[in-house]
Structure formats: structure tokens, C-alpha cells
Amino acid sequence: MSILGPTRWSWLALAAGLLAGAVSGPAGAQSLRGSAASLDRQNRQAAGHDFTYLSGPAQLRRFVDAGLLVPVRGGRDFRLKDVSFPYARPEVTLFITRLAAQYRRGCGERLVVTSLTRPTSHQPRNASDRSVHPTGMAIDLRRPAGRCRRWLESTLLSLEAQGVLEATHERRPPHYHVALFPRSYAVHVDQLTGGAASAGTYTVRRGDTLWGIASDHGTSTGALRRANGLRSSRIYPGQSLTLQAHP
């Protein structure tokens, strides 16, 4: 794969930011260095969403059983590496799915996720006592090399500039800590997919959930509800859902 020139590189990073759930904007004032202010923003978001800081595996399992946390499974575009608890908030799963697809198209390799929800009982020694990993709204991404690293950093900075996440470059071990702001991200995805024309239908199968169908098709539960006139996220096997086209 050839090295991209500056003009094409800028266009690619811009397109990635748009598709990942944010309109491109100036990222020059943003930084991946992390700060006390960044931790403040992450914790305010957790409080605003009324997220619980999970204390241990048993409490995490109860949240999974209640549907508040959902499984994250690797695939064609991303893989999990040494993830002890492969669960996250539904919007985080959607974010990973969309970002990983763009990353693979832009870099030719899979995104690597190294951590998701981590109860306080399983936080590493060097973790901040204000970490939002126990809430399910944070993920860690392995730091790639070369132009893939530039691609990922540019995209994370663009999304941070739009207020949908906070990203920090951690050095021990080298990775990117990303705290997603679920409501803000869902609004951005709705704006990208909610007004699109129909792209076919999907027949609900046993075990399906609305968030799972939305994640698989790169849209949001809100967009699917609007497209199908649903008042809630309840669906049933055999039901036909209208899907939304990708932007």
C-alpha cells in the first residue's frame, strides 16, 4: 500500500472523522496528553448519565443480564487482545464497530482493543482512582505504528474536538484511552443516519436486540425506531425492520 500524500491524507482523516460520528472541525487546540480537566469532563459525563462505577465481576454480570452492558466481539475489522471483561455500553460497541471499519479501510489492518469495562476490583495499579473504565463508557486501543498511528490520532482528535469523547495517549503500556460520551455520540450518529433513504429490510431473529441490529448496520437505535415507528426498543422474532442507508 502506497504512502498517502498530504492532500489525500487530510481528506482521508476528515472523511474518517465524519463517518465515525462527528462533523469535522478544527482539532488544533486538542491534545492527547491528558489532564485533570479531561478527567473532570469524563467523570461529569459519567455522573450526567447516572452511570454506576462497578465494584466487581458479580455486579458487572448483573448489568450484562439487565442489558445495560452488551458483549463486544471482534471480527473482520477489529480484535480483542487480553480483554478480561468483553462488555461495554451499547454506544461504545457502536463506536468501535464504526471506527474499526474505517480504520481497516484506511490502514489495511484491524483495530486492536485492549480493555473495555473494568470493575474497580480489577483496575491495574497505575490506573487513576478517577478512571471511568468501571462505568463501561471507556475503551483502550493499542497504539499502532507509522501512518496508521497518524490516522488514529487524527481521527480521535477530530472527534474530541466535537465533544463526543475524551482521548488520552497513555505510555505505560503505549495505548489510547478513550472515554466515549454516549448521548453526544448517539446524537451524531442519528444526524448521519436518521434522514437517509431506506436500504432494505431486516427480519428479526430469536435473540436479536435493537441495539445489536443497529450496531451491525452502522446506525443507531434511535434511527431504527424512527424508521419503523417504534415507541420502544422491544422487537420480536419475525418482525421486519426497515434499515437506513449509510451516509
pTM, full prediction: 0.71
Quick: pLDDT tens for 81-125.
999 999 999 889 889 988 999 999 989 999 999 999 999 999 998
pLDDT of residue 13: 42
Q: What is the mean pLDDT of the chain?
A: 82
Q: What is the largest CA-CA distance in the chain?
A: 51
> What average pLDDT score do residues 184-191 get?
83
Domains and CATH numbers, the chain: 29-181 (3.30.1380), 194-244 (3.10.350.10)
**pLDDT: is 13 or 141 the higher one?**
141
In three-state form (DSSP H/G/I as H, E/B as E, the rest C), the secondary structure along the chain is CCCCCHHHHHHHHHHHHHHCCCCCCCCCCCCCCCCHHHHHHHHHHHHHCCCCCCCCHHHHHHHHHCCCCEECCCCCCEEECCCCCCEECHHHHHHHHHHHHHHHHHHCCCEEEEECCCCHHHCCCCCCCCCCHHHCCEEEEECCCHHHHHHHHHHHHHHHHCCCEEEEEEECCEEEEEEECHHHHHHHHHHHHCCCCEEEEEECCCCCCHHHHHHHCCCCHHHHHHHHCCCCCCCCCCCEEEEECCC
**pLDDT: is 193 or 213 the higher one?**
213
Integer Cα distance of 75 and 111 in angstroms: 10
pLDDT of residue 30: 65
pLDDT of residue 225: 84
pLDDT of residue 215: 76
In the predicted structure, residue 27 carries a pLDDT above the cut 80: no
pLDDT of residue 194: 58
Integer Cα distance of 37 and 41 in angstroms: 6
pLDDT of residue 178: 97
pLDDT of residue 219: 77
Integer Cα distance of 230 and 241 in angstroms: 10
pLDDT of residue 22: 40
pLDDT of residue 244: 58
> What average pLDDT score do residues 20-25 get?
40
Across 86-90, 91-95, 145-149, 199-203, least confident range: 199-203
